[in-house]
Amino acid sequence: MIVRKPSPGEQVKTGSRYLRGTLAEELINDGPGFSKDAVVLLKFHGAYAGDNRDSRKAGDGKVHISMLRVCVPGGRVTADQYLALDRLADTAGDGTLRITSRQGIQYHHVGKRALRDLIRAVNAAELSTLAACGDVVRNVVCCAAPLPGEERAEFWRYAKLLDRELKPKTGAYAEIWLDGEKAATLEDAEPLYGAAYLPRKFKIGFAFEGENTTDVYTNDLGFVPHFESGRLEGFTVLAGGGLGTSPGVKESHPRLADPVAFVPPEDLLATARAVVGVHRDLGNRANRKLARLKYVIGELGVEWFRNELAERLGKPLAPPRELVWKRQSDYLGWHPQAGGGWFFGLRVVSGRIGGAVRAAVRQAAEELRAEIRFTPQQNLIFAGLDDRARPVLEGILREHGVALPGELPSVLRHSMACPALPTCALAITESERVLPGIAAGIQGELDALGLGAETIHLRQTGCPNGCARPYTAEIGIVGQSVGMYVVYLGGSPVSTRLAQVFREKVPQERLAEVLRPVFHEYARERRAGEAFGDYCFRAGVDALRARHGEA
């Protein structure tokens, strides 16, 4: 057996006294930033210390900024929690809140001196930033739409349960950011993680059968509930998903989770702990680029994983149920809600709540006291509204000039983009800031062919890490070098299939143009009701590339 030397990050974790390191001292010293080791540990507490890439480019040197990520399990907050989050965007950061692709909230451009107050205020709103980042179980995602169906109404509690039970138990978080009293009541042992935590991040998602609104196959661990006459029978377990692809590491690749078993409701937590345990014990601690659970399952096989899981659970596993998927789009606009009343899905382009959108959402939360839900497609839902609230909400949105979802062009409506520049340290090129222009160009091509109203999922990232999940989109645009992108096609309209490379090194201004011949073919050759991604898959992305690729 080859024993590989643990990567430097492993030593930082084990030597950190359960995530303390020198964080407390560094927070109050005179330096503008944090040491290398502290940057690693800060992530577990929810913060990424970096610098403003625009300032660097402009020759202004390193302007230190941090990003703070808040966990919101299942994406649900009360009106009061939302208003607290909203207020914080003025006291720290750049005046915006950013809904993440995992239903969290991010503050960008946070100064080192503002971090502690911000984290305290987030906790005062009964939310946490602990484990929002780092080598631990991340924010647990769950479909946010409160659709009718008794069984779905309170399903969110399972996301909350896993979030609570799988959070690190270290007292370091309370000690460093909150008050000492709380810290004294917390134990330092990490029964699940141990002193070295996980080899890498670990993601868990729930999706309701038929509706892949959470992109469940892209998680390390997915649960799909099955109901019989309104009673929860159990979950199909999916394992081994992940999209991250490291530039220059050829073994790294996106992978969709495999269905591995069916477990009864009482085994949900034990199953989650067991799968996290497999990752903890067998994930690659020598090479972080190949450390996700997907590589363990890819190497040892699904059958091996099933046996390993059964052994860890101490019982044989039932086979997974067959899953059929019909939808992945968010529920935008008005929809009847579980238990009566209505919910409204607001399209928030790239999840960025700023300016007029922020003012409108704040006013709606204040006046209507609506529960707010963040979706994994970076949108926002106002839940629990009655008939009288409908014209009030629409009035508020109109007053602030915020477009209703039906008024937006289809491509922009069904798009996602990661933040990329100037806040992301790993960005190769732009994403969020250029998405509206790229979506408009693609919309123009579709309009010209009478296809403008089609639902086509477009997702863009500023590097191959895949934060806005471009590899499961019908059109994926992935940053390759400055101003240049790889175009992926053939992902399924319900995100159950990986897209493939159609074109590389496409300049930003030519993205719409290179898709033109494929749209023409689609308009001509598609079958009745055939989605764009399905057409590309049927036609063959290799064949499309051969016909319409670069000479």
* CB-CB contact of 190 with 202 (8 Å): no
**What is the helix (H) or strand (E) element at residue 156, kind and residue range?**
helix 156-166
**What is the identity of the amino acid at 301?**
G
Given the rule CB under 6 A, which of 97-105, 174-182, 422-430, 511-519 is the region that contacts ligand SF4? 422-430
Spatial neighbors of 25 by CB under 8 A, at least 6 apart, are none
Known active-site residue 255: no
Out of ligand SRM, ligand SF4, none, which partner does residue 244 contact, by CB within 5 to 8 A per kind? Answer: ligand SRM
Decide which of ligand SF4, ligand SRM, none touches 236; Cβ closer than 5 to 8 Å per partner kind.
none
Structural tokens at position 100: 């993440």
Q: Which of 43, 138, 255, 469 is catalytic?
A: 138
Cα–Cα dist 501/276, whole Å: 32
Largest CA distance in the chain: 69
- Rounded least distance, CB 333 to ligand SRM, Å: 22
The one catalytic residue in 463, 497, 516, 536 is 463
177/19 Cα distance (integer angstroms): 12
Q: How far is the CB of 34 from ligand SF4 (least distance, A)?
A: 19
Query: Which one of 40, 420, 439, 458 is in contact with ligand SF4 (CB under 6 A)?
Result: 420
Choosing from 152, 200, 203, 352, the catalytic residue is 203
Residue number, 99 or 544, with CB nearest to ligand SF4:
99
* Alpha-carbon span 33 to 66, nearest angstrom: 9
Look at residues 506, 514, 416, 424 and name the one whose alpha carbon lies nearest to residue 463. 424
CB of 244 to ligand SF4, least distance (A): 9
Q: Based on the shown chain and the rule CB under 6 A, indicate whether residue 463 belongs to the binding site for ligand SF4.
A: yes
Contact between 23 and ligand SF4 per CB under 6 A: no
Contacting residues toward ligand SRM, per CB under 6 A: 48, 67, 69, 100-102, 104, 106, 138-139, 203, 215, 218, 242-244, 246, 292, 351, 418-419, 423-426, 465-469
**Residues 395, 399, 405: CA angle, nearest 5 degrees:** 65
The answer to whether residue 434 forms part of the interface with ligand SF4 (CB under 6 A) is: no
Q: Which residues share a beta bridge with 47?
A: 68
Give me the least distance between CB of 31 and ligand SF4, in Å please. Answer: 25
Residue 5: active-site member: no
Contact predicate 245/254, CB 8 Å? yes
What dihedral angle (degrees, nearest 10) is formed by the CA atoms of 205, 208, 212, 218? 20
Q: Pick from ligand SRM, ligand SF4, none: which does 46 bind, CB < 5 to 8 A by kind?
A: none
Distance CA 224, CA 208 (A): 6
Q: Binds 431, which of ligand SRM, ligand SF4, none (CB < 5 to 8 A, cut-off by type)?
A: ligand SF4
- Distance CA(126)–CA(85), nearest Å, equals 11
3-state class (DSSP) for residue 335: strand
Partner whose footprint covers residue 100, from ligand SRM, ligand SF4, none (CB < 5 to 8 Å by kind)? ligand SRM
Binding ligand SF4 (rule: CB under 6 A), the pick from 431, 492, 495, 508 is 431
Q: How many residues does the chain have?
A: 551
Is 424 a binder of ligand SF4 (CB under 6 A)?
yes
Which residue of the set 152, 201, 280, 413 is catalytic?
201
208 DSSP assignment = B
Residue 204: phi and psi, rounded to 5, are -125, 135
Q: Is 524 part of the annotated catalytic residue set?
A: no
Complex with ligand SRM: residue 258 or 267, whichever CB lies closer: 258
Tell me, rounded to whole angstroms, the distance of Cα 149 from its chain centroid.
Answer: 26
Closest to ligand SRM by CB, 332 vs 424, is 424
- In sequence order, what are the residues at sequence separation of 6 or more whose Cβ sits closer than 8 angstroms to the Cβ of residue 194? 280
Q: Tell me if residue 138 is catalytic.
A: yes
Choose between 142 and 424: whose C-beta lies nearer to ligand SRM: 424
Q: Name the minimum Å distance from CB 431 to ligand SRM.
A: 8
Known active-site residue 36? no
Catalytic one of 112, 467, 516, 545 = 467
Q: How do beta strands 97-99 and 105-110 pair?
A: antiparallel
Is 465 near ligand SF4 (CB under 6 A)? yes
Q: Which of 254, 345, 462, 533 touches ligand SF4 (CB under 6 A)? A: 462
Structure tokens that stand for 97 in this block: 């809140």
Please select the residue that binds ligand SF4; options are 297, 309, 349, 418, rule is CB under 6 A.
Answer: 418
Under a CB-based contact definition with an 8 Å cutoff, are residues 462 and 424 in contact? yes
CB of 416 to ligand SF4, least distance (A): 11
The residue annotated as part of the active site, out of 13, 43, 69, 273, is 69
201 catalytic residue (yes or no): yes
Question: CB of 91 within 8 A of CB of 405?
Answer: no
Count of residues interacting with ligand SF4 (CB under 6 A): 13
Please state, in angstroms and as integers, the Cα–Cα distance from residue 452 to each residue in 85, 447, 506, following that order.
Answer: 36, 4, 23
Q: What are the residue numbers of the active site?
A: 69, 138, 201, 203, 418, 424, 463, 467
Q: Which residues bind ligand SF4 (CB under 6 A)?
A: 418-420, 424, 426-427, 431, 461-463, 465-467
